[in-house]
Chains A and B, each alone.
Chain A
Amino acid sequence: MDTTLLAQLFLIGIVSGAPLAVLGLGMSLILNVAHRFHFAFALTITLGGFVAAILATQAGVPAPLAVLIAAVAAGLVGAAIEMAIYRPLERRAGAASLLPVFVSALGLTIGGQSLIQLVWARDTTSRPFTLMASERLPMPLDLRLTTLDLTTLVVFGGIAAVAVVILRFTRAGQVVRGVRGNPLMAAVVGVRPATVYVWIFALASAASGLAGAFFAARFSATPAMGFDPMFSAFVVAFLAGAAAPALRVVLIGLALGVVQSVSGMWIPSNLTNIVVFGLLFAYLAARGLGVKVPRRLRLAGKA
């Protein structure tokens, strides 16, 4: 066992796991608090990546500002999706809104992806974008860690930490946890569920746009870039369970990043992203066969 390689893969895993932790937290809240099967999460990730790339490379906007604008744009689009698409469907169909919500999200994601490609990636399917000069930092064991890696870790680790603190200690966090655990009592004390849902969508989508921008900085922006992170977010949310405290979700996200990366010791590296789908499939198959798995999520109206 090559321990240096293992350590390197572990480090890469933590760095890639940090955005997954934040995405997983966002998806967990969307699934458990707003009860939406948000298959259009991929769209806001991709949008973030392209907005950042285009602004930085074609409009001459300084890279950090481009990233910020990308996050804001993604947040606005996410909130709009909830207000204009999901909420009217639920109002009309209630518990039978699962299929309409999914189908609409499917149309939104695929259609949106093609639109992005048509507008921004017609001739070249990938848009690279430089967030910062990527220099290697001095590290023990000669491990490789660049400034981009460190920035990713700090930014997303910071967001995750702030989110955990807000959910645990602030009034807003209590409201969110209250709506999640007992929507009836939330309405009784005067919470407007619709408002809470929009805020969750806005913040989760902004974070997803930010993640997209960082993915674009690392790998370049491509039209299909949002799918793998979105499925990772689903996996994290499912594995954590319905009433999971934010910290657990974050740790599972980090763990997923590590597992994906470390699996590269045994699987060819271009297949490691398949690990996510394999995990999801195995989890759901086990659940369907009646094997005990973490407490179920309830989607589509059955609050």
Chain B
Amino acid sequence: MEYWISYLDQAIIFAIFAVSLNVLVGYAGIFSIGSAAFGAIGGYVTALVTLNLGAPTIVALLLAALAGGIIAQVLSAPILGLSPEYVMLMTLSLSILLVAVIAAVPMLGGQQGLFNMPLPAFTGDKLLRPSQFLPWLVLFLIVTLLLVWRTAESPLGRLLRAARDDRTAVRSLGKNPLWAQISAFGLMSALTGLAGGLLVLYNGIAAPSMFSLNQTMLIFAMVVIGGIGSIPGSLAGAVLVVGIAPLLETVLRLSPEDSALVRPIVFGAVLILVMRLRPAGLVPERLRVPRALRSRVAATVPEISEPRPAVVDTSERPPVVLQVDGISKSFGGVQAVRDLSLQLRAGQITALVGPNGAGKSTVFNLVTGAIQPDAGSVVLEGRDITGWAPHRVARAGMVRSFQDLRVFAGLTPIENVMMGGLPHPGENPLALYAAFRSVHRRERAIAQDAAAWLDFVGVDPMLRVPTSSLSFAQQKQVAFARVLGTGARILLLDEPLSGIEGNAAEDMIALIDRMRSLGHTICIVEHSIQAISRLADWAYFMEEGTVTAEGRVADLLADSRLKEAYFGIA
């Protein structure tokens, strides 16, 4: 009986390893292959503190977690600046480096490791048999699961998943995922350190061979087989991977040495097969629709009584809300935008037209802070926002959509739109663990709002599918609901009609019209002259990086210079 319980104990310890890896890789998209490194840090800290300082067990474990967390925070700076493949290689080399250094330092016991540790004890009774460890390990697992659940299945978790899918889009909506990622990385590494400490205490020894690449592979197997992005899946994966050893020994009567070799062979093959045939794993990632929506209240979207006609009388033009003066930008010798000035007026649709390469999308990037202008100024409702970062510009009331959509592929439509919602305490790591009630209330309000916007654009808010599985036109509608959900009054739409035709294009034109009727100020980059003639109150013509003509669309079309620029006809 103790034989099986000892494997259960190990499964629990590895479940903690697996669950923390899953949150990092599956939820946050931080490909940190650091189980060995942080496990070793936690494990050796525990051993050293217990052996040399005679510290009580609980203190040793807390220090293990703390060590893991602190070192992770130190490494945050380089890691968050690297793209995924480099993160993998860096954390992998750290793992191997750390274990190799530990093995070479005599004070840390070398290859043999540190042993002769006093038996662990939490409440006085010394723990010796597996069944004595079990209740304490279960306790640690429960604490881990609570922390992980709160992190992952929360507004913070949603922010992490959105940043995993598309970081640029997150920032364009006014949110900065940096602190969320740093705190997730720190917390998960602390849990990994804790697991390392538990492993050392359970085995009574801290040795380099316990934190090998072999181990890392098995932990990956637990995550992958169980399902990337699924916490229950990782628990199942841990039981499966650990459980196969006793199975091999009792059923197939393999010796412990042989089963230690067969297990990696089996799981190596399983990893390859799973990646090939069922990459989502046993338990696919949950598709989330907030429970709050089950009892929906009336829409908070203002009623649209009568669409306001496009302004025809130029003598009485609405006030300027966005003033761009003389901005310029060159990329490595090529002048993309030259001394460009334009104005957006309240409640109007302004169009930017021009041939390919004229610099229209660059203007959007410069104005929203995605790129810094070399010269010139951008003034939004009287405030100088020149050079502000994208998320600050979004908070100031100006948001853009992207030509290539950039919807959060793995999130449901409602989650996509909720990401656009105004600042949320639930996305702040500190508030998340402290202010439960206000987080919950905010979440409800944002969910209602998001549902209303999805209704407005014509997409079912209760859809429980990944947004990437919708048709392109529907994804575009979700993207629009998302920018509307930010509450920004000034919307920059980059090629809203590209990729859709026929009825869908008609619907889109009608939607943009409705958006204007709500009082939003809209600027669109479009190529279809037909669409622009129907929508735009004012148009700017761009050539080679600067504005060469402006006016009402009908006037521009009659301009022979424009004809020449577009068609080359004199």
Q: Which residues of A contact B (CB under 8 A)?
A: 37, 85, 88-89, 93, 98-100, 102-104, 106-115, 117-118, 122, 227, 231, 234, 268, 270-271, 273-274, 277-278, 280-281, 284-290, 297, 299-300
* With known contacts A103-B220, A231-B93, A110–B213 Cβ distance under 8 A: yes
Residue of A113, A115, A118, A285 ringed by the most chain B CB atoms within 10 A: A285
Judge whether B104 and A281 touch: CB under 8 Å.
Answer: no
- 12 additional contacts (CB under 8 A) given A98-B31, A99-B31, A122-B258: A37-B88, A100-B275, A110-B213, A110-B264, A118-B265, A122-B261, A231-B96, A277-B97, A281-B97, A288-B86, A289-B81, A297-B85
Contacts of A104 in B (CB 8 A): 271-272, 275-276
Closest B residue to A278 by CB, please name it.
B97
B window 184-241: CB within 8 A of A: 213-214, 216-217, 220-221, 224, 228
Contacts of B289 in A (CB 8 A): none
Judge whether B90 and A281 touch: CB under 8 Å.
Answer: yes
Residue of A111, A114, A286, A300 touching B85 (CB-CB under 8 A): A300
Complex CA–CA separation, A289 to B268 (angstroms): 34
B385 within 8 A of A: no
- Count of chain B residues with Cβ under 8 Å from any Cβ of A? 47
Residue of B89, B96, B224, B258 touching A284 (CB-CB under 8 A): B89
Residue of B79, B257, B268 touching A107 (CB-CB under 8 A): B268
B270 within 8 A of A: yes
Judge whether A93 and B268 touch: CB under 8 Å.
Answer: no
Judge whether A227 and B78 touch: CB under 8 Å.
Answer: no
Contacts of B214 in A (CB 8 A): 110, 114
B window 253-291: CB within 8 A of A: 257-258, 261-272, 275-276, 279
Closest A residue to B94 by CB, please name it.
A281
* With known contacts A85-B272, A274-B104, A284–B221 Cβ distance under 8 A: no
Judge whether A118 and B85 touch: CB under 8 Å.
Answer: no
Complex CA–CA separation, A117 to B85 (angstroms): 29
| 24 A–B pairs (Cβ distance < 8 Å), ordered by A | A37-B88, A99-B25, A99-B84, A102-B31, A104-B272, A106-B216, A106-B220, A111-B217, A111-B266, A111-B269, A113-B264, A115-B265, A118-B265, A271-B101, A274-B101, A277-B93, A280-B90, A284-B89, A284-B93, A286-B78, A288-B90, A289-B78, A290-B81, A300-B84
Judge whether B272 and A288 touch: CB under 8 Å.
Answer: no
CB distance from B484 to the nearest CB of A (A): 29
7 A-B pairs with least C-beta separation: A111-B268, A288-B78, A107-B271, A107-B268, A284-B90, A277-B97, A288-B81
CB distance from A203 to the nearest CB of B (A): 23
Contacts of A103 in B (CB 8 A): 220, 224, 271, 275
Complex CA–CA separation, A111 to B275 (angstroms): 15
B531 within 8 A of A: no
Contacts of A268 in B (CB 8 A): 104
* With known contacts A110-B213, A110-B217, A274-B97, A234–B271 Cβ distance under 8 A: no
CB distance from A280 to the nearest CB of B (A): 4
Residue of A107, A274, A299 touching B100 (CB-CB under 8 A): A274
Judge whether A285 and B78 touch: CB under 8 Å.
Answer: yes
B435 within 8 A of A: no
B77 within 8 A of A: yes
Closest B residue to A121 by CB, please name it.
B261
CB distance from A16 to the nearest CB of B (A): 18
Judge whether A285 and B90 touch: CB under 8 Å.
Answer: yes
Judge whether B268 and A110 touch: CB under 8 Å.
Answer: yes
Complex CA–CA separation, A108 to B274 (angstroms): 13
Judge whether B261 and A107 touch: CB under 8 Å.
Answer: no
Judge whether B271 and A270 touch: CB under 8 Å.
Answer: no
Residue of B213, B264, B279 touching A100 (CB-CB under 8 A): B279
Contacts of A277 in B (CB 8 A): 93, 96-97, 100
Judge whether B268 and A271 touch: CB under 8 Å.
Answer: no
Judge whether B96 and A106 touch: CB under 8 Å.
Answer: no
Contacts of B80 in A (CB 8 A): 288
Contacts of B119 in A (CB 8 A): none
Complex CA–CA separation, A112 to B217 (angstroms): 12
CB distance from A281 to the nearest CB of B (A): 5
Judge whether A118 and B258 touch: CB under 8 Å.
Answer: yes
Closest B residue to A238 by CB, please name it.
B89
Judge whether B85 and A299 touch: CB under 8 Å.
Answer: yes
Residue of B85, B263, B269 ringed by the most chain A CB atoms within 10 A: B85
CB distance from A232 to the nearest CB of B (A): 11
Contacts of B257 in A (CB 8 A): 122
Complex CA–CA separation, A98 to B269 (angstroms): 18
B window 31-88: CB within 8 A of A: 31, 75, 77-82, 84-86, 88
Judge whether A106 and B78 touch: CB under 8 Å.
Answer: no
Judge whether B86 and A284 touch: CB under 8 Å.
Answer: yes
Closest B residue to A110 by CB, please name it.
B217
Residue of A102, A227, A286 touching B96 (CB-CB under 8 A): A227
Contacts of A112 in B (CB 8 A): 268
Complex CA–CA separation, A297 to B89 (angstroms): 13
Contacts of B271 in A (CB 8 A): 103-104, 106-107, 111
CB distance from A39 to the nearest CB of B (A): 8
Complex CA–CA separation, A50 to B459 (angstroms): 61
CB distance from A185 to the nearest CB of B (A): 20
Contacts of B279 in A (CB 8 A): 93, 100
CB distance from A98 to the nearest CB of B (A): 6
CB distance from A36 to the nearest CB of B (A): 11
Residue of B81, B84, B93, B262 ringed by the most chain A CB atoms within 10 A: B93
Contacts of A98 in B (CB 8 A): 31, 84-85, 88
Complex CA–CA separation, A299 to B86 (angstroms): 10
Contacts of A234 in B (CB 8 A): 89
Residue of A88, A102, A270 touching B104 (CB-CB under 8 A): A270
Judge whether A111 and B265 touch: CB under 8 Å.
Answer: yes
